[in-house]
Structure 1
């Protein structure tokens, strides 16, 4: 009898993730990155995938139960209560002591860079992917996150398909900690709601703290502007089809 098929979850030049039944295999040549990911999962007070084994460059993780909040650019299969529970889980992540997580140093993806924003805007301008006015408005929004004094332990890539909940709207797992480290906590809230702005209020309600909503929207712009060139250069298809491009058009129009 045939065993489970091998499914490619994501693959690019930096790393790849495969699924075989209920086991996920992350292939990453960066040993330090894998070490940091395992340390992050051990430090946070939210459910994370169980480490089955690791043998460089492979990390084997057990599948977490539940349903993902949704996909970026797609519909969400869960209601407002699940998004509120996710907001509470994000607050718990941000309460993780940086020293305990071994994350005193900032994760590069979590720290906004003026050079990276300028390079991304030049990339867009050279290709004419956005109307000039839309690009300029998003550039101005993205500049608002530069030099942010906010600092906490962050997931770094908290997309809605990285958060799983059960039928009782309890968070059952948060996956993909490869970008975890010190950074602006509003980045996590922004990435989580980027494609589902209608649930920003639900997430903030669960987060239970005052949140600068304009800063979240500024992170939407920065994240999309800087992500699209990277995705295009790593073979993710035509950039005009990306949900990130749709967000830039949505918020910069």
Structure 2
């Protein structure tokens, strides 16, 4: 018969299990293909998405680098003027230069003012006036001369103070003298010195001469006391 010529059909007694196994394998193959396709799409998105990591941001910055941060400054940098040169110290509006005699230098250094509590700023100004009298440079005003010499009469913290004054802001000696008194002879010290004058008494073991000398010193320490000058 023709059926016998085509061969015999294979008989599978567990055909249902085989069919189920084939369907499961086909489903697993489809799921694997789907997941593979999703993974490839995510990979493509990550490649084309904006860079977010710090390292990648720094890499992008090579094309458009951000402005550099401002340089760190030390306290010494703040002692420089706008021109970038180191602050040379106190500079009046119109500085003058002249040779300073050794006698003047010695007189200034003998009574240098440091700002110590035991020193009197008004007595220092009086000594300074005396030292300035030892020189009279030609074509230099008295104001400019004192502006040139006053720094040499200071030492320690007082010399540091005068160097903190902004350059080119003091034009006359009177202006500098006012700044000096504002710093070292404020109102509370003025009241203390004035009270020493108004409440002055001769000591028990003090001679009249010594008391008088001490009283005149009190007047020198507070020259603008506003009291009547009686002898």
Tell me if both proteins adopt one fold, taking TM over 0.5 as the criterion. no
Structure whose residues are more often helix by fraction: 2
For normalisation by structure 2, the TM-score amounts to 0.23
Mark the structure with the bigger radius of gyration.
2
User: Which protein has the bigger strand share?
Assistant: 1
